């Protein structure tokens, strides 16, 4: 039985991708799944160090994350990617390579993302100190048909994570939690 798949969180900086990824990770680990989280910020520090924020560099970063997810998925690990991944065609390319892929669009109004800005990045981008900042001076292309849409300004993260897990069960990637307890 194949159990590996990729759960790909996409959305603006500050949307809640990493928070949701770790909530889902904790539940999957509690259900005895092998899970790895690839957070965009962490990947840029290790796997994509030296890449900038040009379109080409952003695409290279997403393709690298996608390759790691593909390898993990093929080896029956649940790969969770939490990366802005601003360009639709690059996300679609990664989806096509992996196959077992669930896209979660963490949608948040720009003004909410700016208000959540704990790193001060939006402030700097709005002041012109950070060029090519997604959502300000660089585009973000929302997915056309994500399996899950989370409106993170409208519900608490725990409720969003529960909806993601329910979608994974409905799509056949996870056994329902109650079935696991009965087995």
Dist CA 182 CA 80 (whole Å): 27
The pTM of this model reads 0.93
Dist CA 98 CA 71 (whole Å): 9
Structure confidence at residue 179 (pLDDT):
53
Strands 5-10 and 148-151: unpaired
Domains of the chain with CATH codes: 5-173 (3.40.50.300)
Q: Are 110 and 142 in contact (CB under 8 A)?
A: no
Query: Cα torsion at 48, 52, 54, 58 (round to 10°)?
Result: 20
Structure confidence at residue 180 (pLDDT):
47
Structure confidence at residue 183 (pLDDT):
47
Residues in the chain, pLDDT under 70: 1-2, 178-183
Structure confidence at residue 99 (pLDDT):
95
Q: Are 5 and 102 in contact (CB under 8 A)?
A: yes
**Is 152 among the catalytic positions?**
no
* Residue 66: other Cβ atoms inside 10 A: 26
Structure confidence at residue 114 (pLDDT):
95
Structure confidence at residue 182 (pLDDT):
46
Catalytic residue among 13, 85, 152, 160: 85
Q: What is the DSSP string of 98-134?
A: HSSEEEEEEE--HHHHHHT-TT-HHHHHHTTSSSS-B
Structure tokens given for 3: 């159990």
């Amino acid at each position: 039985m194949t159990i590996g798949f990729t759960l790909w969180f996409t959305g603006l900086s500050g949307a809640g991708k990493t928070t949701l990824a770790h909530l889902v990770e904790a539940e999957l680990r509690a259900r005895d799944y092998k899970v790895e989280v690839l957070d965009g910020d962490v990947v840029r520090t290790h796997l994509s160090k030296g890449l900038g924020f040009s379109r080409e560099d952003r695409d290279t970063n997403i393709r690298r994350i996608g390759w790691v997810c593909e390898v993990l998925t093929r080896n029956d690990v649940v790969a969770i990617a939490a990366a802005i991944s601003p360009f639709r065609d690059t996300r679609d390319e990664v989806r096509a390579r992996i196959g077992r892929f669930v896209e979660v669009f963490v949608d948040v109004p720009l003004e909410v993302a700016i208000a959540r800005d704990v790193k001060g990045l939006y402030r700097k981008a709005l002041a012109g100190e950070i060029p090519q900042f997604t959502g300000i001076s660089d585009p973000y292309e929302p997915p056309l048909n994500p399996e899950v849409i989370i409106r993170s300004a409208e519900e608490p993260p725990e409720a969003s994570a529960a909806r993601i897990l329910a979608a994974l069960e409905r799509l056949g990637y996870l056994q329902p939690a109650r079935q696991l307890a009965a087995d």
